[in-house]
Amino acid sequence: MRLIRLWPDDSRFDFMKFRRFSFPLSALFSVVTVVLLLTVGLNFGIDFKGGTLMELQAKSGQADVGKVRQAADSFGFGEVEVQEFGTAGGISLRFAIQEGGEAAQSAVVQKARDTFGAEYEFQRVETVGPRVSGELVQSGTVGIILAVIAVLFYLWFRFERELAVGAIIGTLHDIVLTLGFFVITRHEFNMTSIAAILTIVGYSLNETVVVFDRTRELMRRYKTMPSVDLLNLSINNTMSRTVMTAVTTALSLLALVLFGGRAIEGFAQVMLYGVVICTYSAICISSPMLIYIGLRGSEATKTVGGKVAPAE
């Protein structure tokens, strides 16, 4: 039986060359993302913005979006987003947060139930008040920052300082570009998105760590090899594994996108994008970054002094 090989054995590809394109490209995308974040902003879901989300299912199997929109607009609860989904008469309604504190929010649900209850089934109702949404924003932000710091310490402990810095730059790059995906596609940003970003943080480091583990090993074996060659060799050696894992992960995510249903496909799409970005950044951002951070600095002092030299 002939088996598949996605990546040729003993490849000697000059990956470091890519940095001439990948660095400016990633810098450009990062800047564009930051600008878009500041000007357009994320499409926050009710988790972070507060408000009410309802998913209705027409009992007849046929939804009248126009009529629902008209009725919802006439409630006087401010801006309403009405969207149709699926093919069997699903409608989602999103009301902005209401003035008048926590209690004012449930008036929206009551009114909608009274109006649409006869013709539609209420499949999902979510109401988040202003205080809870504020707390969720806080815990989401704190979580991502905490994750980056915790991982930085872990890497510092397990690897040389230079490798840790390179890995974190790659991870920050992946977080920024993932946010860019949210801004550009107008994907709703909610608590599940935070879960996706943290998973991407994990995956991104996973990818980088595999390459850097090899770099560290090769650094000890070839003490005089120039950084560029060393990094190229690390990536070439681990490339067949990188491709395999990216493909198996992408395949399972693809299954989620195709069959996971409405509530999950958003998460799966972001993750699928994340897998591509993480694989790219491990090869084209984190590793070549080490050429500039200086790979041999710490290693040289290590072999001479027998222990890690103090910073600088």
Partner 1 sequence: MLRFSKSKIIFTVGIIVIGLLLAVPSMMSREQRESFQRSLPNWVPSWLIPSRAIVLGLDLQGGSHVLLEVDVPDLMRTQTTQLRDDIRRILRETRVTPQGGIQLTPRGAQIRVPDVADRDRVLPKLRELGQPLGSAILGQGGGRDIEVSVTPEGLIALTYSEGGVNEKVRRAVDQAIEVIRRRIDVTGTTEPSIQRQGADRILVQVPGLQDPQRLKELLGRTAKLEFRLLAQPGAADVDMLPMKEEGGNRVPVERRVIVDGSDLVDAQPAFDSRTNEPIVNFRFNVRGAQRFGQATTEAIGRPLAIVLDNEVISAPTIQSAITGGAGQISGRFTVQQVNDLSVLLRAGALPAKLTIVEERTVGPGLGQDSIEAGKKATYVATIFVVIFMFATYGLFGLFANIALVVHVGLIFGLMSILEATLTLPGIAGIVLTIGTAVDSNVLIYERIREEFKAGRSMVSAIQAGFDRAFATIVDSNSTMAIAAVILFFLGSGPVRGFAVVFILGILTTVLTAVTLTRMMIALWYHWMRPKTLPF
Binders of partner 1 among residues 215 to 244 (CB under 8 A) are 217, 237-238, 240-241, 244
Residue 213 touching partner 1 (CB under 8 A): yes
Per-residue H/E/C for 38-100: HHCCCEECHHHHCEEEEEEEECCCCCCHHHHHHHHHCCCCCCEEEEEECCCCEEEEEECCCCC
**Binder among 178, 249, 279, 286 for partner 1 (CB under 8 A):** 249
Q: How far is the CB of 54 from partner 1 (least distance, A)?
A: 9
- Contacts of partner 1 in 4-43 (CB under 8 A): 4-6, 9-10
Stretch that binds partner 1, among 68-76, 92-100, 172-180, 265-273 (CB under 8 A): 265-273
Residue 128 touching partner 1 (CB under 8 A): yes
Q: How far is the CB of 287 from partner 1 (least distance, A)?
A: 15
Residue 101 touching partner 1 (CB under 8 A): yes
The residue with tokens 């309604």 is 93
Residue 119 touching partner 1 (CB under 8 A): no
Residue 102 touching partner 1 (CB under 8 A): yes
Stretch that binds partner 1, among 14-22, 99-107, 278-286, 299-307 (CB under 8 A): 99-107
The answer to whether the beta carbons of residues 229 and 290 sit under 8 Å apart is no
| Cβ atoms within 10 Å, residue 135 | 11
**Binder among 22, 30, 92, 106 for partner 1 (CB under 8 A):** 106
Q: How far is the CB of 134 from partner 1 (least distance, A)?
A: 11
285 closest CA partner among 199, 161, 180, 169: 169
Tokens of 210: 């595999």
Residue 100 touching partner 1 (CB under 8 A): no
> What are phi and psi for residue 87, nearest 5 degrees?
-120, -10
Q: What is the DSSP string of 233-259?
A: HHHHHHHHHHHHHHHHHHHHHHHHHHH
Tokens of 94: 């999103």
